Structure 1
Amino acid sequence: MTDAAISRYPVPDINDLPDDLKEMVLTVQEKSGFVPNVFLGMAHRPDEMRAFFAMHDALMEREGNLTKAEKEMIVVATSAANGCQYCVVAHGAILRIRAKNPLIADQVAINYRKADITPRQMAMLDFAMKVCLDSRSINDDDFETLRGHGFDDEDIWDIAGITAFFGLSNRVANFTSMRPNDEFYAMGRG
């Protein structure tokens, strides 16, 4: 464990947070056994923290045809493309757990095109990367390709929405120099 800074910005004490945010952080701590640094880093701006986690939950907890592991694959692949260490490490841990596969997160982060994933997941990540890196070139052919793999228009929205939201998250994590918790590195590997 290290005592390195969590963020370039001041991190408030959990007990100094507004009650709703304090409850949110303590609930996460109880569930995971530690407080992910994203909660502490985002607490620098309480109103934005509320909005950030509301959008996160709306996308990542939404019922639909994408599995929780597939949603995490999108986060890991696009966060790697954006050079976001925090999100690759944190969501890589979640991906390993949700996929019950200790190798998948590293494969997806380094080169998803060589990962042990299905053709459906490859098409999903190809589209997510297009949203991430070249969204202005998205066209009807992209939708047809995804529909050919069994995705409907709501699934396509989910892929794009998750990618776009984590583009914001990656940028905030990068400019604040948000440090991944040491706990994430070993999760889901054993």
Structure 2
Amino acid sequence: MSNLSLAHDRTASPAGTVDDAEPVSRLGLPDEAGLPAHVRALYDDFRAHYGFVPNWLSALAINPDTAYRLVEFYRHLFDPKNSHLTAADRELIAVVTSAANHCSYCVFNHTQALASALGDKVRAQRIAQGYGHVRLSDREQALAETVDLLTRSPTAVGEAEIERLRRLGLTDKAITEVFEISAFFSYANRLTIALNVVPDAQFFSA
């Protein structure tokens, strides 16, 4: 998920473990050589672009098409050419949704991406720790509260939330995308949590 750059250097420790021998995933990691070509190509893309393969990708690749579907969906969803939202909007949604779902992996990952989008590492970290304690813009506040509600109590989202976003200038296409990004991260969060994917060492050294 974005920041797709965050990854685990598979040459640094035995397959399926981090440096302290803690399993990367409850289901272990697949033998990369045995993966289908289209999934090995994802590994190659990450290594070529960022220098390593993220734990979440390695963990999901235990079922290769799960990894492939998620990456392809994410790439289209976060492609600026396809989006009606800003990068900061998208990453705010990712962080708030992941925090509401208690997905530490995705919170770590997307806090760094939010920091890049905002140009403010400290503010991004404060939002990740609890957006209610941060002075947000009206747009940020509405986005955060809407996706928090959608994540925690989806049937509570209604016309009031939609009208609030419209008043702030979001089109109906953009509002749909807000819901879609939040829903995507709830999906990704649940996969990551169920597999108990260990955050990459790069989260702590960046």
- Normalised by the size of structure 1, how large is the TM-score? 0.91
Aligned pair count reads 187
Which amino acid counterpart does residue 139 of structure 1 have in structure 2?
G
Residue 159 in structure 1 maps to residue 178 in structure 2: yes
> Which structure 1 segments of 5+ residues have no match?
none
1:127 to 128, 146, 154: 146
Once the two structures are superposed, the pairs formed by residues 1-190 of structure 1 within 5 Å of their partners are 2-3=19-20, 4-61=22-79, 63-187=82-206
Q: Which residue identity does 1:23 align to in structure 2?
A: A
State the secondary structure of the residue aligned to 1:103: helix
Give the stretch that moved more between structures: 93-102 or 170-179. Answer: 93-102
Cα deviation digits, residues 1-39 of structure 1 (max 9, x gap): 734221011211323221111111111122122211111
Greater fraction helix: 1
Supply the AA of the counterpart residue of 2:107. V
Contact 1:95–1:104, Cα closer than 8 Å, also in 2: no
Partners of 1:98 and 1:15 in 2: how far apart?
Answer: 36
Tell me how far 1:116 sits from its aligned partner.
4.3
CA RMSD of aligned residues (A): 1.6
Segments ≥4 residues shifted beyond 3 Å: none
Which whole-Å deviations, capped at 9, do the CAs of 1:85-136 have from their partners, x for residues lacking one? Answer: 1100111122222222111332111111222432111111111111111110
User: Identity over the aligned pairs, expressed in percent?
Assistant: 28
- Runs of 5+ in structure 2 lacking a partner? 1-17
